[in-house]
């Protein structure tokens, strides 16, 4: 079994890291370049940088911030937000990103997943899936534009298409759990992990060290992503890893 990864997430808006609850009520959490350097030193396995308002505002990801961040870190670095073409991907990879995260553009044009995987390799393409439980369906629905727009697409169908089209990884965010600190959405994470054979990064809801153990053991996730608890120093990456090792989970 592959070692589990712990990944901090930098949600960036107007050049600052922000964090909210259920995708709203955002508050400032610091400078992305400074935070990235801290997480690299503290033992993060990877870093995810999401320009959360780029798709909604219809603009490209902030290349200069990506360049500066990449210059400060040695760990793999995924960048997403406002990426709508293979040229956008190339620009960010040249700026220092190791992987590209796509969400809204992938839903609008699934061929982008295929084209990106063919051009840069599957390992480079991470498809972010923002999902919320739809009671009428008894299943989860995919949302786009930073969680603003419902798509009518069932998340479990969509993750299978993502894999078919050659993506290397899924970044799965539960909108219901996001920022609540009540724990990852284990039902959603497990359902997605069992539908696909590519790695699933679970996101949304981490509040205690135990939540990471749960998402790996019960949710079958390959990586756990968190923002609030790390940004506001509620716990360190090392504390999470020590707890997991103590419970017999292999971490990097």
- Whether 235 is covered by a domain: the verdict is yes
pLDDT for the residue numbered 147: 80
Strands (E), the chain: 5-13, 16-21, 24-30, 47-51, 77-80, 99-102, 125-134, 139-144, 149-154, 169-174, 200-203, 223-226
- Whether 251 is covered by a domain: the verdict is no
- Whether 216 is covered by a domain: the verdict is yes
Strand partners, 49: 10, 79
- pLDDT tens digits, one per residue of 75-86: 999 999 889 999
Q: 26 φ, ψ to 5°?
A: -75, 140
Q: Is residue 11 flagged as an active site residue? A: yes
Task: Report whether pLDDT(16) > 60.
Answer: yes
- Whether 183 is covered by a domain: the verdict is yes
Calculate the average pLDDT of the chain. Answer: 90
- pLDDT tens digits, one per residue of 102-128: 999 999 999 999 999 999 999 999 999
Average pLDDT estimate for 18-42: 73
Of the candidates 45, 130, 185, 222, the residue annotated as catalytic is 130
CA angle 225-229-235, nearest 5°? 105
Task: Report whether pLDDT(26) > 60.
Answer: no
- Whether 201 is covered by a domain: the verdict is yes
Are residues 112 and 118 in contact, defined by beta-carbon separation less than 8 angstroms?
no
Q: Would you tell me how many other CB atoms lie within 10 Å of the CB of residue 40? A: 18
Of the candidates 11, 45, 51, 88, the residue annotated as catalytic is 11
Report the CATH number that the domain containing residue 135 is assigned in CATH. 3.20.20.70
Task: Report whether pLDDT(96) > 70.
Answer: yes
- Whether 72 is covered by a domain: the verdict is yes
> What pTM was computed for the model?
0.92
Average pLDDT estimate for 191-206: 97
Total of domains in the chain: 1
Strand partners, 22: none
pLDDT for the residue numbered 23: 45
Domain that holds residue 19: 5-246
- Whether 84 is covered by a domain: the verdict is yes
- Whether 252 is covered by a domain: the verdict is no
Task: Report whether pLDDT(17) > 80.
Answer: no
Rounded distance, CA 176 to CA 14, Å? 25
Q: Is residue 40 flagged as an active site residue? A: no
Average pLDDT estimate for 149-174: 97
């Amino acid at each position: 079994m592959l070692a589990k990864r712990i990944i901090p997430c930098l949600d960036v808006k107007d050049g600052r890291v922000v964090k909210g609850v259920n995708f709203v009520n955002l508050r400032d959490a610091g400078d992305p370049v400074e935070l990235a350097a801290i997480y690299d030193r503290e033992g993060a396995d990877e870093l995810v940088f999401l320009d959360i308002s780029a798709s909604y505002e219809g603009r490209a990801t902030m290349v200069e911030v990506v360049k500066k961040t990449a210059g400060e870190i040695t760990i793999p670095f995924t960048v997403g937000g406002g990426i709508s073409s293979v040229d956008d991907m190339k620009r960010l990879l040249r700026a220092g990103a190791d992987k590209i995260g796509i969400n809204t553009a992938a839903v609008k044009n699934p061929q982008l997943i295929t084209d990106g995987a063919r051009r840069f390799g599957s390992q480079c393409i991470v498809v972010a899936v923002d999902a919320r439980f739809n009671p009428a369906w008894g299943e989860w629905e995919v949302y786009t534009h930073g969680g603003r727009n419902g798509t009518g697409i069932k998340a479990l169908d969509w993750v299978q298409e993502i894999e078919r089209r050659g993506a290397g990884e899924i970044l799965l965010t539960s909108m219901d759990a996001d920022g609540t600190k009540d724990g990852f959405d284990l039902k959603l994470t497990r359902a997605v992990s069992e539908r696909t054979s590519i790695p699933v990064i679970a996101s949304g809801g981490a509040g205690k060290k135990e939540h990471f153990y749960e998402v790996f053991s019960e949710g079958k996730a390959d990586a756990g992503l968190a923002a609030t608890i790390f940004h506001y120093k509620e716990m360190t990456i090392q504390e999470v890893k020590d707890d997991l090792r103590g419970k017999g989970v292999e971490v990097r």
